[in-house]
Structure formats: structure tokens, C-alpha cells
Amino acid sequence: ANGNITANAIRLVSGAFSADGQASLADNKVSADVKGALADISLLSGDAKGAITFALNAQGAGTAPDLSLTVDSDRLSVAAREITGLKLTATGKGDIASPAADISLTGSVNDEPLDFKASLVTRQGKRSINGLSLSLGDNKVSGDLALDDRFLPLGTVALDLPDISPLAALALEEANGDVRGTIAFSNDGGAPAVAVDATSGS
């Protein structure tokens, strides 16, 4: 009668996927703490082997809770490449009107260090992705992007990828070659446009 919704001892098991925790919504306050695992990542890609675990936490006002998500894997195998010590962390504010988040990804791919960082920022009603930076061995991607009202990107990302194969492995795909140049995102009369200015030696 008071509009409160509470769910305790949440548990879900479906094949290789499992999750358990608790969640409640009371007086427009949300509290959730859920942990889980995917024991067989080949369900996402047939070329991948391994397992991941995750943890999701949400606390605060129902319309703008503080959120945190972590995803971990000790070892994944993708297209004959080993991804070890993988850790994805995302923290922020779940406010649709003024979203904010800090995202990081670390680990190694065939013993090459991986480091990714980016921040979603909202200032004076304008959203942007600041400090986007990805390094994996000698591969580098960087840039800053604005986001329009539909969350479509505007701006330029620089690419310096002498060997794209480890990056492809992160996407659970297999690819080879090198790419250097830029990708420019724009809004052409309301329609998203992408201009690629890149070269490949292979």
C-alpha cells in the first residue's frame, strides 16, 4: 500500500549464467547489490573460452542512484590469444538528465599491457566523453567526443594501431593488420556521419 517494493535473496541460474543478491525500492530510494558469473564466455563468441564474474551495486535516489559495476576475468582465450587479469570498472551517477561515469579497463593480452580510460561528463546540460584513451602494447587510441541529444558522438578519435589483432581479441573477434589515421564523427542535417581517414600497410 505504501508503494515500497522489496526483493531479497535474488537468485538466477540459467545454464552457464548465475546471479544472486538483493534489491529494494522504498520511498524512492534504491538499494541493490548483485553478484554473478558467466562460466562459459563462448556463449557470447564461439572463438572465446573462459569465464567472467561481475558485481553491480546501486544506492541512492531512485531517479539518480550511485552506480558501480565491476567485471573480472582471470583468463580468457580468444583467437589463440590469452587475455589475463582483465578488470572492467565503471562508477557513476544513473541520472538520465545528467549522467556521469568513469570507466577503466586493465589487464594484458599475450603479456602486452592493456589500459583504457574514459569519463562521461555532463556540464550545463551538455554531455561529453572526455579523456578517451586506450593503449594495448604499441596500439594507441585517443580523443574527446561530445554527445548530442540522442547520445550520438561528435568529434575525432585518433588511431595508431600497428597491430590490430590484440584489439580484435578484446572484441572477441579475429583480425590482422595495421591502421593509422582518424575517425571523425559528425551530425549531417540530423543524421549521424562518420568519416574515416586512415591508412593500412597490410
Residue predicted with more confidence, 168 or 54: 54
Domain boundaries, the chain: 5-199
Q: Is the pTM value of this prediction over 0.75? A: yes
Spatial distance between the Cα atoms of 68 and 34, rounded to a whole number of angstroms: 11
Which 3 state secondary structure label does DSSP give 169? helix
pLDDT at 1: 41
Phi then psi for 183, rounded to 5 degrees? Answer: -125, 120
Which of 36, 41, 34, 35 lies closest to 75 in space, CA to CA? 41
Residue bearing cell 584513451: 133
The per-residue pLDDT for range 103-157, each reduced to its tens digit, is 999 999 999 999 999 999 999 889 999 999 999 989 999 999 999 888 889 999 9
Task: Tell me: pLDDT of 97 over 70.
Answer: yes
Q: State which H helix or E strand residue 55 sits in.
A: strand 52-61
Task: Tell me: pLDDT of 202 over 80.
Answer: no
pLDDT at 45: 84
Q: State which H helix or E strand residue 168 sits in.
A: helix 165-170
The per-residue pLDDT for range 17-59, each reduced to its tens digit, is 999 999 988 888 999 999 999 999 998 888 889 999 999 999 9
What angle (nearest 5°) sits at the alpha carbon of residue 130, between those of residues 127 and 136?
A: 140
Q: State which H helix or E strand residue 150 sits in.
A: none
